[in-house]
Amino acid sequence: MNHVECHGLHLDPKTRDDTRRRLLSIKGHVEGVLRMLDDETVYCVDALKQIKAVNGALDKVGALVLRSHLRDHVVTAQERGDVDEIVDELMEVLKYR
Amino acid sequence: MNHVECHGLHLDPKTRDDTRRRLLSIKGHVEGVLRMLDDETVYCVDALKQIKAVNGALDKVGALVLRSHLRDHVVTAQERGDVDEIVDELMEVLKYR
Amino acid sequence: MNHVECHGLHLDPKTRDDTRRRLLSIKGHVEGVLRMLDDETVYCVDALKQIKAVNGALDKVGALVLRSHLRDHVVTAQERGDVDEIVDELMEVLKYR
Amino acid sequence: MNHVECHGLHLDPKTRDDTRRRLLSIKGHVEGVLRMLDDETVYCVDALKQIKAVNGALDKVGALVLRSHLRDHVVTAQERGDVDEIVDELMEVLKYR
Protein backbone atom coordinates (compact mmCIF):
# COMPACT_ATOMS: atom_id res chain seq x y z
CA MET A 1 0.00 0.00 0.00
CA ASN A 2 1.55 3.30 -0.99
CA HIS A 3 1.19 6.71 0.62
CA VAL A 4 -1.76 7.60 -1.62
CA GLU A 5 -3.85 4.66 -0.50
CA CYS A 6 -2.85 5.24 3.13
CA HIS A 7 -3.79 8.85 3.26
CA GLY A 8 -6.57 9.18 0.69
CA LEU A 9 -4.88 11.95 -1.28
CA HIS A 10 -7.77 12.51 -3.70
CA LEU A 11 -8.37 15.30 -6.16
CA ASP A 12 -10.94 17.55 -4.47
CA PRO A 13 -14.48 17.30 -5.97
CA LYS A 14 -14.66 20.87 -7.26
CA THR A 15 -11.33 20.66 -9.06
CA ARG A 16 -12.28 17.25 -10.42
CA ASP A 17 -15.50 18.66 -11.91
CA ASP A 18 -13.66 21.65 -13.36
CA THR A 19 -10.96 19.41 -14.82
CA ARG A 20 -13.58 17.14 -16.39
CA ARG A 21 -15.43 20.08 -17.93
CA ARG A 22 -12.24 21.47 -19.44
CA LEU A 23 -11.11 18.09 -20.75
CA LEU A 24 -14.50 17.65 -22.47
CA SER A 25 -13.93 20.99 -24.17
CA ILE A 26 -10.38 19.92 -25.12
CA LYS A 27 -11.80 16.70 -26.60
CA GLY A 28 -14.13 18.89 -28.70
CA HIS A 29 -11.16 20.97 -29.78
CA VAL A 30 -9.25 17.85 -30.91
CA GLU A 31 -12.35 16.76 -32.88
CA GLY A 32 -12.36 20.20 -34.51
CA VAL A 33 -8.72 19.78 -35.58
CA LEU A 34 -9.61 16.33 -36.98
CA ARG A 35 -12.42 17.86 -39.08
CA MET A 36 -10.00 20.58 -40.22
CA LEU A 37 -7.66 17.84 -41.45
CA ASP A 38 -10.43 16.30 -43.59
CA ASP A 39 -9.91 19.29 -45.86
CA GLU A 40 -7.08 18.42 -48.24
CA THR A 41 -6.26 22.09 -48.76
CA VAL A 42 -5.55 22.68 -45.06
CA TYR A 43 -2.47 24.84 -44.46
CA CYS A 44 0.28 23.38 -42.21
CA VAL A 45 0.58 26.47 -40.07
CA ASP A 46 -3.18 26.54 -39.39
CA ALA A 47 -3.02 22.94 -38.19
CA LEU A 48 0.06 23.78 -36.12
CA LYS A 49 -1.72 26.72 -34.46
CA GLN A 50 -4.65 24.50 -33.45
CA ILE A 51 -2.35 21.83 -32.03
CA LYS A 52 -0.55 24.49 -29.98
CA ALA A 53 -3.89 25.87 -28.78
CA VAL A 54 -4.84 22.40 -27.48
CA ASN A 55 -1.44 22.22 -25.76
CA GLY A 56 -2.18 25.57 -24.10
CA ALA A 57 -5.59 24.39 -22.89
CA LEU A 58 -4.01 21.25 -21.43
CA ASP A 59 -1.40 23.38 -19.65
CA LYS A 60 -4.24 25.29 -17.99
CA VAL A 61 -5.90 22.07 -16.78
CA GLY A 62 -2.52 20.88 -15.55
CA ALA A 63 -2.01 24.11 -13.58
CA LEU A 64 -5.45 23.66 -12.00
CA VAL A 65 -4.70 20.13 -10.83
CA LEU A 66 -1.21 21.14 -9.69
CA ARG A 67 -2.51 24.02 -7.57
CA SER A 68 -5.06 21.72 -5.99
CA HIS A 69 -2.36 19.14 -5.24
CA LEU A 70 -0.03 21.74 -3.71
CA ARG A 71 -2.79 23.19 -1.54
CA ASP A 72 -4.33 19.90 -0.42
CA HIS A 73 -1.41 17.50 -0.20
CA VAL A 74 2.03 19.05 -0.58
CA VAL A 75 1.78 21.69 2.16
CA THR A 76 0.66 18.99 4.62
CA ALA A 77 3.38 16.46 3.79
CA GLN A 78 5.45 17.26 6.88
CA GLU A 79 2.46 16.63 9.15
CA ARG A 80 1.59 13.44 7.27
CA GLY A 81 5.19 12.23 7.20
CA ASP A 82 5.57 11.47 3.46
CA VAL A 83 7.82 14.40 2.47
CA ASP A 84 10.29 12.37 0.38
CA GLU A 85 7.61 10.64 -1.68
CA ILE A 86 5.62 13.84 -2.24
CA VAL A 87 8.69 15.85 -3.30
CA ASP A 88 10.13 13.12 -5.54
CA GLU A 89 6.91 12.52 -7.46
CA LEU A 90 6.26 16.26 -7.81
CA MET A 91 9.74 16.92 -9.21
CA GLU A 92 9.22 14.01 -11.61
CA VAL A 93 5.91 15.32 -12.91
CA LEU A 94 7.18 18.90 -13.17
CA LYS A 95 10.24 17.99 -15.21
CA TYR A 96 8.14 16.14 -17.72
CA ARG A 97 8.23 18.44 -20.75
CA MET B 1 -6.00 36.50 -51.36
CA ASN B 2 -3.09 35.61 -49.13
CA HIS B 3 0.08 33.70 -49.91
CA VAL B 4 -1.47 30.40 -48.87
CA GLU B 5 -4.31 30.64 -51.36
CA CYS B 6 -1.94 31.86 -54.09
CA HIS B 7 0.55 29.07 -53.76
CA GLY B 8 -1.50 26.15 -52.50
CA LEU B 9 0.69 25.52 -49.45
CA HIS B 10 -1.14 22.40 -48.33
CA LEU B 11 -0.17 19.81 -45.75
CA ASP B 12 1.09 16.85 -47.79
CA PRO B 13 -1.34 13.87 -47.90
CA LYS B 14 0.91 11.40 -46.06
CA THR B 15 1.57 13.80 -43.17
CA ARG B 16 -2.12 14.71 -43.08
CA ASP B 17 -3.07 11.02 -42.69
CA ASP B 18 -0.42 10.46 -40.05
CA THR B 19 -1.53 13.57 -38.15
CA ARG B 20 -5.14 12.43 -38.26
CA ARG B 21 -4.29 8.98 -37.00
CA ARG B 22 -2.30 10.41 -34.11
CA LEU B 23 -4.97 12.95 -33.20
CA LEU B 24 -7.56 10.14 -33.09
CA SER B 25 -5.31 8.34 -30.63
CA ILE B 26 -4.91 11.55 -28.62
CA LYS B 27 -8.70 11.94 -28.52
CA GLY B 28 -8.87 8.41 -27.12
CA HIS B 29 -6.27 9.33 -24.53
CA VAL B 30 -8.31 12.38 -23.44
CA GLU B 31 -11.38 10.13 -23.12
CA GLY B 32 -9.29 7.83 -20.95
CA VAL B 33 -8.37 10.71 -18.64
CA LEU B 34 -12.05 11.66 -18.47
CA ARG B 35 -12.96 8.12 -17.36
CA MET B 36 -10.14 8.25 -14.82
CA LEU B 37 -11.71 11.41 -13.38
CA ASP B 38 -15.05 9.63 -12.88
CA ASP B 39 -13.33 7.86 -10.01
CA GLU B 40 -13.65 10.10 -6.96
CA THR B 41 -10.57 8.55 -5.38
CA VAL B 42 -8.31 9.58 -8.28
CA TYR B 43 -4.93 10.93 -7.15
CA CYS B 44 -3.94 14.41 -8.39
CA VAL B 45 -0.49 13.34 -9.54
CA ASP B 46 -1.90 10.47 -11.60
CA ALA B 47 -4.24 12.91 -13.37
CA LEU B 48 -1.31 15.31 -13.85
CA LYS B 49 0.84 12.58 -15.40
CA GLN B 50 -1.88 11.74 -17.93
CA ILE B 51 -2.36 15.40 -18.86
CA LYS B 52 1.38 15.73 -19.41
CA ALA B 53 1.39 12.55 -21.52
CA VAL B 54 -1.30 14.02 -23.79
CA ASN B 55 0.79 17.19 -24.10
CA GLY B 56 3.78 15.08 -25.08
CA ALA B 57 1.76 13.27 -27.77
CA LEU B 58 0.56 16.64 -29.12
CA ASP B 59 4.15 17.89 -29.22
CA LYS B 60 5.01 14.90 -31.40
CA VAL B 61 2.17 15.67 -33.84
CA GLY B 62 3.27 19.30 -33.86
CA ALA B 63 6.84 18.27 -34.73
CA LEU B 64 5.51 16.14 -37.59
CA VAL B 65 3.52 19.00 -39.09
CA LEU B 66 6.38 21.44 -38.52
CA ARG B 67 8.91 19.21 -40.31
CA SER B 68 6.51 18.83 -43.23
CA HIS B 69 6.01 22.61 -43.37
CA LEU B 70 9.76 23.30 -43.29
CA ARG B 71 10.49 20.74 -45.99
CA ASP B 72 7.61 21.62 -48.32
CA HIS B 73 7.12 25.35 -47.85
CA VAL B 74 9.79 27.13 -45.84
CA VAL B 75 12.87 26.01 -47.81
CA THR B 76 11.17 27.17 -51.03
CA ALA B 77 10.09 30.60 -49.78
CA GLN B 78 12.89 32.46 -51.56
CA GLU B 79 11.90 30.93 -54.90
CA ARG B 80 8.23 31.65 -54.26
CA GLY B 81 8.89 35.17 -53.03
CA ASP B 82 7.01 35.10 -49.71
CA VAL B 83 9.97 35.02 -47.29
CA ASP B 84 8.67 37.69 -44.90
CA GLU B 85 5.25 36.10 -44.48
CA ILE B 86 6.65 32.59 -44.08
CA VAL B 87 9.26 33.66 -41.49
CA ASP B 88 6.88 35.88 -39.50
CA GLU B 89 4.15 33.25 -39.18
CA LEU B 90 6.69 30.54 -38.32
CA MET B 91 8.27 32.65 -35.56
CA GLU B 92 4.77 33.35 -34.25
CA VAL B 93 3.75 29.70 -34.08
CA LEU B 94 7.10 28.61 -32.59
CA LYS B 95 6.95 31.09 -29.75
CA TYR B 96 3.54 29.92 -28.72
CA ARG B 97 4.28 27.97 -25.53
CA MET C 1 7.09 42.20 7.06
CA ASN C 2 6.22 39.33 4.79
CA HIS C 3 6.13 35.59 5.47
CA VAL C 4 9.72 35.18 4.35
CA GLU C 5 11.07 37.64 6.88
CA CYS C 6 8.83 36.19 9.58
CA HIS C 7 9.88 32.61 9.13
CA GLY C 8 13.42 32.83 7.79
CA LEU C 9 12.76 30.73 4.70
CA HIS C 10 16.33 30.65 3.47
CA LEU C 11 17.94 28.55 0.78
CA ASP C 12 19.81 25.81 2.67
CA PRO C 13 23.64 26.27 2.70
CA LYS C 14 24.46 23.12 0.72
CA THR C 15 22.03 23.98 -2.09
CA ARG C 16 23.25 27.57 -2.06
CA ASP C 17 26.84 26.43 -2.58
CA ASP C 18 25.85 24.00 -5.30
CA THR C 19 23.77 26.68 -7.04
CA ARG C 20 26.65 29.13 -6.90
CA ARG C 21 29.09 26.61 -8.33
CA ARG C 22 26.75 25.80 -11.20
CA LEU C 23 26.04 29.46 -11.94
CA LEU C 24 29.78 30.15 -12.12
CA SER C 25 30.06 27.39 -14.69
CA ILE C 26 27.06 28.85 -16.57
CA LYS C 27 28.76 32.26 -16.56
CA GLY C 28 31.81 30.59 -18.12
CA HIS C 29 29.58 28.98 -20.72
CA VAL C 30 28.06 32.38 -21.64
CA GLU C 31 31.59 33.77 -21.99
CA GLY C 32 32.37 30.87 -24.31
CA VAL C 33 29.39 31.74 -26.51
CA LEU C 34 30.56 35.37 -26.56
CA ARG C 35 34.00 34.29 -27.78
CA MET C 36 32.34 32.09 -30.39
CA LEU C 37 30.47 35.15 -31.65
CA ASP C 38 33.75 37.04 -32.15
CA ASP C 39 34.26 34.77 -35.14
CA GLU C 40 32.47 36.35 -38.07
CA THR C 41 32.09 32.99 -39.78
CA VAL C 42 30.10 31.52 -36.88
CA TYR C 43 27.14 29.42 -38.04
CA CYS C 44 23.69 30.38 -36.68
CA VAL C 45 22.77 26.85 -35.66
CA ASP C 46 26.00 26.43 -33.69
CA ALA C 47 25.22 29.63 -31.76
CA LEU C 48 21.65 28.41 -31.26
CA LYS C 49 22.83 25.08 -29.87
CA GLN C 50 25.06 26.82 -27.31
CA ILE C 51 22.26 29.15 -26.22
CA LYS C 52 19.98 26.15 -25.73
CA ALA C 53 22.69 24.35 -23.78
CA VAL C 54 22.92 27.31 -21.37
CA ASN C 55 19.13 27.21 -21.05
CA GLY C 56 19.36 23.52 -20.17
CA ALA C 57 22.03 24.19 -17.51
CA LEU C 58 19.86 26.92 -15.99
CA ASP C 59 16.88 24.55 -15.92
CA LYS C 60 18.99 22.14 -13.88
CA VAL C 61 19.92 24.86 -11.36
CA GLY C 62 16.28 25.86 -11.20
CA ALA C 63 15.25 22.26 -10.46
CA LEU C 64 17.83 22.13 -7.66
CA VAL C 65 16.51 25.28 -5.99
CA LEU C 66 12.91 24.17 -6.51
CA ARG C 67 13.48 20.79 -4.87
CA SER C 68 15.14 22.50 -1.94
CA HIS C 69 12.23 24.92 -1.61
CA LEU C 70 9.64 22.12 -1.77
CA ARG C 71 11.46 20.02 0.83
CA ASP C 72 12.33 22.83 3.23
CA HIS C 73 9.41 25.26 2.95
CA VAL C 74 6.45 24.02 0.95
CA VAL C 75 5.80 20.77 2.81
CA THR C 76 5.77 22.67 6.12
CA ALA C 77 3.44 25.48 5.02
CA GLN C 78 0.40 24.02 6.79
CA GLU C 79 2.29 23.92 10.10
CA ARG C 80 3.64 27.43 9.58
CA GLY C 81 0.28 28.79 8.47
CA ASP C 82 1.28 30.49 5.19
CA VAL C 83 -0.30 28.04 2.73
CA ASP C 84 -1.90 30.65 0.47
CA GLU C 85 1.26 32.70 0.05
CA ILE C 86 3.47 29.66 -0.52
CA VAL C 87 1.10 28.15 -3.11
CA ASP C 88 0.47 31.43 -4.96
CA GLU C 89 4.13 32.33 -5.33
CA LEU C 90 5.05 28.78 -6.35
CA MET C 91 2.36 28.69 -9.06
CA GLU C 92 3.60 32.07 -10.28
CA VAL C 93 7.21 30.97 -10.54
CA LEU C 94 6.31 27.63 -12.15
CA LYS C 95 4.21 29.17 -14.88
CA TYR C 96 7.01 31.47 -15.91
CA ARG C 97 8.15 29.83 -19.16
CA MET D 1 33.58 19.72 -45.71
CA ASN D 2 30.00 20.16 -44.61
CA HIS D 3 27.24 22.31 -46.07
CA VAL D 4 28.10 25.21 -43.77
CA GLU D 5 31.66 25.46 -44.96
CA CYS D 6 30.56 25.06 -48.58
CA HIS D 7 28.01 27.79 -48.55
CA GLY D 8 29.28 30.21 -45.94
CA LEU D 9 26.09 30.18 -43.85
CA HIS D 10 27.21 32.82 -41.36
CA LEU D 11 25.22 34.72 -38.77
CA ASP D 12 24.67 38.16 -40.31
CA PRO D 13 26.81 40.95 -38.74
CA LYS D 14 23.90 42.96 -37.30
CA THR D 15 22.35 39.93 -35.58
CA ARG D 16 25.78 38.86 -34.35
CA ASP D 17 26.34 42.27 -32.72
CA ASP D 18 22.86 42.27 -31.20
CA THR D 19 23.35 38.72 -29.90
CA ARG D 20 26.70 39.67 -28.35
CA ARG D 21 25.25 42.72 -26.66
CA ARG D 22 22.41 40.70 -25.18
CA LEU D 23 24.69 37.90 -24.02
CA LEU D 24 26.91 40.44 -22.25
CA SER D 25 23.81 41.68 -20.43
CA ILE D 26 22.86 38.07 -19.61
CA LYS D 27 26.35 37.48 -18.22
CA GLY D 28 25.81 40.53 -15.98
CA HIS D 29 22.49 39.10 -14.88
CA VAL D 30 24.13 35.78 -13.92
CA GLU D 31 26.74 37.73 -11.92
CA GLY D 32 23.87 39.50 -10.17
CA VAL D 33 22.32 36.17 -9.19
CA LEU D 34 25.74 35.03 -7.91
CA ARG D 35 25.98 38.12 -5.68
CA MET D 36 22.44 37.48 -4.50
CA LEU D 37 23.52 33.99 -3.43
CA ASP D 38 26.32 35.43 -1.30
CA ASP D 39 23.57 36.49 1.08
CA GLU D 40 22.86 33.54 3.35
CA THR D 41 19.33 34.75 4.00
CA VAL D 42 18.37 34.63 0.32
CA TYR D 43 14.90 33.21 -0.26
CA CYS D 44 14.62 30.21 -2.62
CA VAL D 45 11.78 31.70 -4.64
CA ASP D 46 13.72 34.93 -5.23
CA ALA D 47 16.65 32.92 -6.58
CA LEU D 48 14.23 30.87 -8.70
CA LYS D 49 12.68 34.01 -10.19
CA GLN D 50 16.10 35.34 -11.24
CA ILE D 51 17.08 32.01 -12.81
CA LYS D 52 13.83 32.01 -14.77
CA ALA D 53 14.43 35.61 -15.85
CA VAL D 54 17.84 34.64 -17.27
CA ASN D 55 16.18 31.76 -19.11
CA GLY D 56 13.67 34.20 -20.57
CA ALA D 57 16.46 36.53 -21.75
CA LEU D 58 18.23 33.57 -23.37
CA ASP D 59 15.00 32.56 -25.11
CA LYS D 60 14.86 36.04 -26.63
CA VAL D 61 18.44 35.79 -27.94
CA GLY D 62 17.63 32.34 -29.29
CA ALA D 63 14.58 33.73 -31.14
CA LEU D 64 16.74 36.45 -32.66
CA VAL D 65 19.30 33.98 -33.99
CA LEU D 66 16.57 31.62 -35.16
CA ARG D 67 14.78 34.34 -37.14
CA SER D 68 18.06 35.33 -38.75
CA HIS D 69 18.77 31.71 -39.67
CA LEU D 70 15.29 31.18 -41.14
CA ARG D 71 15.48 34.38 -43.19
CA ASP D 72 19.07 33.99 -44.41
CA HIS D 73 19.54 30.24 -44.77
CA VAL D 74 16.39 28.14 -44.41
CA VAL D 75 14.23 29.87 -47.03
CA THR D 76 17.05 29.47 -49.59
CA ALA D 77 17.77 25.80 -48.92
CA GLN D 78 15.91 24.57 -52.02
CA GLU D 79 18.01 26.84 -54.24
CA ARG D 80 21.20 25.82 -52.48
CA GLY D 81 20.31 22.14 -52.55
CA ASP D 82 20.81 21.27 -48.83
CA VAL D 83 17.17 20.89 -47.78
CA ASP D 84 17.60 17.64 -45.83
CA GLU D 85 20.55 18.90 -43.78
CA ILE D 86 18.92 22.27 -43.05
CA VAL D 87 15.61 20.70 -41.98
CA ASP D 88 17.19 17.94 -39.88
CA GLU D 89 19.47 20.26 -37.93
CA LEU D 90 16.66 22.79 -37.41
CA MET D 91 14.28 20.14 -36.06
CA GLU D 92 17.07 18.94 -33.76
CA VAL D 93 17.76 22.38 -32.33
CA LEU D 94 14.06 23.22 -31.97
CA LYS D 95 13.25 20.09 -30.02
CA TYR D 96 15.98 20.78 -27.53
CA ARG D 97 14.02 21.83 -24.44
Q: Would you say residue C47 lies in a domain?
A: yes
Q: How many domains does chain A have?
A: 1
Q: What is the pTM of this model?
A: 0.92
- If you average pLDDT over residues B50-58, what whole number do you get? 96
Nearest Cα residue in chain B from A61: B51
Which pLDDT tens digit goes with each residue over B70-86?
999 999 999 999 999 99
- Are C74 and D70 in contact by the 8 Å Cβ rule? The answer is no
ipTM of the complex: 0.91
* A48: nearest CB among B30, B41, B66: B66
Nearest Cα residue in chain A from B16: A37
Residue percentage of chain A with pLDDT more than 90: 88
Q: CA-based Rg of chain B, rounded to a whole angstrom?
A: 18
Q: Would you say residue D57 lies in a domain?
A: yes
Confidence of residue C9 (pLDDT cuts 50, 70, 90): confident
Average of per-residue pLDDT values in chain D = 92
Task: State the CB neighbour count (10 A cutoff) for residue D60.
Answer: 12
- Are B65 and A48 in contact by the 8 Å Cβ rule? The answer is yes
Q: Would you say residue D84 lies in a domain?
A: yes
Q: How far is C40 from chain A (nearest CA, A)?
A: 33
Q: Would you say residue D28 lies in a domain?
A: yes
Which pLDDT tens digit goes with each residue over A23-82?
999 999 999 999 999 999 999 999 999 999 999 999 999 999 999 999 999 999 999 999
Q: Mention every residue, 6+ apart, whose C-beta is less than 8 A from residue D28.
A: none
Residue percentage of chain A with pLDDT more than 70: 91
Confidence of residue B1 (pLDDT cuts 50, 70, 90): very low
CB pairs under 8 A between A and B: 134
DSSP state of D10: B
Q: What 3-state DSSP class applies to B41? A: coil
Is some CB atom of chain A closer than 8 A to the CB atom of B60? no
Tell me which residue range forms the domain holding D28.
12-95
Is some CB atom of chain A closer than 8 A to the CB atom of C86? yes
Q: Would you say residue A57 lies in a domain?
A: yes
A10 by Cβ neighbours in 10 Å (0-12 / 13-18 / 19+) ranks as middle
Q: Which chains are adjacent to chain C, needing at least 3 Cβ pairs under 8 Å?
A: A, D
- In the predicted structure, residue C16 carries a pLDDT above the cut 70: yes
What CATH code is carried by the domain that includes residue B37? Answer: 1.20.58.1000
Q: Would you say residue A18 lies in a domain?
A: yes
Residue A24: the pLDDT is: 98
Tell me the residue type at C30.
V
Q: Would you say residue C33 lies in a domain?
A: yes
Residue C5: the pLDDT is: 58
Q: Would you say residue D5 lies in a domain?
A: no
Residue A6: the pLDDT is: 60
